[in-house]
Amino acid sequence: MMRPQMSEFEELRAELYACRECRDLFGFEPRPVCMGNAEAKIVQVSQAPSVHVNNTGRSFNDISGRRLRNDWYRISEETFYDPNIFYITSVGHCYPGKSNNKGDNPPPKICAQKWLRREIELVKNEMFILVGKAAADFFFPKADFTELVFSDHTIRGKPAYVIPHPSPLNVRWFKEHPEFEESRVSQIRKKVHDVI
């Protein structure tokens, strides 16, 4: 009996999950993480998985994820992890390890070039949400991050929105820009709910 042929998207995901290119760079076994189907309505791109996401294999399964889902999007966990609604990926698909400044290391540049470009070509989404500066810089290099947050954009002809990373380490940006949680986040939330 012949096995059904894998789609281009399924082949990409199989290759991505098998990738161990950064093993020597990290000094530990990489664990690529991304979630969702090729028909997901929203592509959400962030920087890289946290150590907790690395350990569980579930995107945004941490403090940042709870803030994103509960406070900003105001959606259920079931909706957020519905593979037909969200395709959740990142500039770096693996946890990159800790840096000396208490945060995580930046994701290796090769990862986005190798995987993210292909993902956004193959997912037939309606909207993009870029979470944090690393994701914003990939799509809008040299643009001012704060200006990106407070304006609307398009990627591949589809609406795109930039939001700050919901990490508890990101305190300074929120103190300097209270208008994000006062007004901007509700505008983006409406767009998310309209697509859902």
The pLDDT-based confidence of 1 (bands split at 50, 70, 90) is: low
**What does residue 75 show for φ and ψ, rounded to 5 degrees?**
-130, 165
Render pLDDT for 145-160 as a digit per residue (tens, 0 to 9). Answer: 999 999 999 999 999 9
* Contact between 151 and 160 (Cβ < 8 Å): no
CB atoms within 10 A of CB 44: 27
Q: Which domains does the chain have, with CATH numbers?
A: 8-195 (3.40.470.10)
**Alpha carbon distance 95, 92 (integer Å):** 8
Query: Cα separation of 187 and 54, whole Å?
Result: 31
**Per-residue model confidence (pLDDT) at position 3:** 57
DSSP element (H, E) containing 78: helix 77-80
The answer to whether 92 and 111 are in contact (CB under 8 A) is yes
Give backbone dihedrals phi and psi of 45, rounded to 5 degrees, phi first: -120, 130
pTM for the model stands at 0.92
**pLDDT for 67-106, tens place per residue?**
999 999 999 999 999 999 999 999 999 999 887 766 788 8
